[in-house]
Amino acid sequence: MAPMHDLLLIDGKLVPGAISAPVINPATGLVLCDAPRADAAQTEMAIAAARRAAPTWAATAPETRAQALIALADALEARAEHAACLLTQEQGKTLGEARGEVEGSLAALRYHAGLRLTPRVLRSGPADLVVEQRYPLGVVAALVPWNYPLLMLVLKLAPALIAGNAVIAKPAPSTPLTTLMLGTLAADLFPAGVVQVLGDDGAVGPMLVAHPHVDHVSLTGSTATGRKVLMGAADTLKRFTLELGGNDAAIVLEDADVDAIAPQLFMGATANAGQVCLGIKRIYVARRKADALCEALGALVRQAVVGDGMMPASTLGPLHNAAQQKRARAMVEEAEKLGTTVAKGIVPDHGFFVAPMVIRDLPESARLVREEQFSPVIPILPFDDEADAIARANASDYALGGSVWSGDAQRALTVAGQLRTGLVWVNRIFDLPFEVPLGGARHSGMGRHQGIEGVEEFTQTRIVNAAL
């Protein structure tokens, strides 16, 4: 029997890919395995199968659709440790982080299974009735990123399916294994064509985006990729949801308890080796607290154990790929010339590792400040004036998230209300309850994820206006 990541799922059947390509283990830089990829003919087959399956799935009772999601969660839970190990080896994150991603994926499947779309009465009287209804769009392409390949897949798959759509899942070319594994589990749980998984060598994504029989594209990825999706979807005017890049700022006010918050800030900046869209990318700190914060974060950098995520002692894994490593190293090289290095970790001499670092006093023009670095390198930027900190935090085309840290919650809320982003945390980070909808502003995306609003993204509104 082939491993659970050796086959594609097309029209209810597990089939070999027309082509294959290697998957690289980021901790070693060596080939982990070869994985199947779909060609143009297989992609066309999947789109046609989804088109056939969508009407019947849309007409299926919501309770039946929910039962299928719960069954998928149960099947994944039975293989949770295998999934976590696979995730660590293909993506690079520590095994503890991978287990957390699997647990989050299980919770997301079960949460969305409990959601229902219900008509909303807009007007009701003796002579008329106006009702807002929602119906599924049809065929959804779920384009999944490499930083959270399982969780981001589920956060597209579950709401699209519970809304009544057929879904074609396409993982990033470099992280296909956990997606293919989930497709293997789904094969016997959903009608043919309702859930399909295609490995990608780089050509499948553009084909799905441009295809006239794909009705919605849900992408989590870079802003550059988001622009390509917009251009590719323009001819067919298909619907889309885009969760794109971020350059999230944390603002640490002068009344913050630095020792208490430093571990949270460090985690917010270095989780998944800094490869988190909503992670902390730059920290603005009141000048009189800057030395203490640098000292506290520097101590955490020196304590970090950087290594293969499969090793129990590792607290920080590698970057995901060689291109990301090269880009991060270029940013660090510039930053070390422009600012002051407070602390720098130790990394293995193989794989795609970048040392965790704290660098302070950089100019706003430094790449490490103005770009989304996706690495465990933390720029500390002192400020003298609160209004200036807010202005600097807002001076970015990215507007995904941010955070404010203070001993006075009301003061922090006032500052949070001035940040022009899709999400602002106050005295916390990475608190993401599924019932709370999320979405970026400006170059960080369009549309909403999570909550009933995230399900509605995969539907069309219909107004029924009746004379009684």
What phi and psi, each to the nearest 5 degrees, are found at residue 372?
-85, 105
Per the annotation, the verdict on 453 as an active-site residue is: no
Dihedral over Cα of 211, 214, 215, 219: its sign:
negative
- Residue 2: the pLDDT is 54
- Residue 445: the pLDDT is 85
Per the annotation, the verdict on 85 as an active-site residue is: no
CA gap 281, 268 in Å, rounded: 9
Tell me the pLDDT of the chain averaged across its residues.
95
What phi and psi, each to the nearest 5 degrees, are found at residue 356?
-65, 145
CA gap 336, 17 in Å, rounded: 46
Fold that domain 249-433 belongs to in CATH:
Aldehyde Dehydrogenase; Chain A, domain 2 (3.40.309)
Structure tokens at 432: 């993401």
Structure tokens at 392: 């600097």
CA gap 147, 289 in Å, rounded: 33
Of 173, 170, 202, 205, nearest in space to 23 by CA: 173
- DSSP characters for 7-35? -EEETTEEE--SEEEEEEETTTTEEEEEE
Place of tokens 């807010």: 390
- Residue 1: the pLDDT is 45
Dihedral over Cα of 304, 310, 312, 313: its sign:
negative
Spatial contact of 252 and 286, defined as CB atoms under 8 Å apart: yes
Helical H segments across 339-404, by residue range? 367-370, 386-394
Query: What is the rounded (10 degree) CA torsion for 200, 33, 21, 194?
Result: -20
**DSSP 8-state symbol, 357:** E
pLDDT, tens digit, 9 for 90 and up, residues 104-148? 999 999 999 999 999 999 999 999 999 999 999 999 999 999 999
Residue intervals of the chain classified under CATH 3.40.309.10 are 249-433
* 3-class SS of residue 316: strand
Residues 6+ apart with CB under 8 A from 196: 8, 9, 10, 11, 46, 49, 50, 166, 167, 168, 169, 183
Q: Terminus-to-terminus CA distance in the chain, angstroms?
A: 62
- Residue 5: the pLDDT is 78
Residue intervals of the chain classified under CATH 3.40.605.10 are 8-244+444-467
Q: 149-162 and 177-186 are packed helices; what angle lies between their axes, rounded to 10 degrees?
A: 30
CA gap 50, 65 in Å, rounded: 16
Catalytic residue among 90, 277, 456, 457: 277
Catalytic residue among 243, 372, 456, 457: 243
Q: Which residues of the chain have pLDDT under 70?
A: 1-2
Radius of gyration of the chain (CA): 23
The CATH class of 8-244+444-467 is: alpha beta
Q: Give the amino acid at 200.
A: D
- Residue 47: the pLDDT is 98
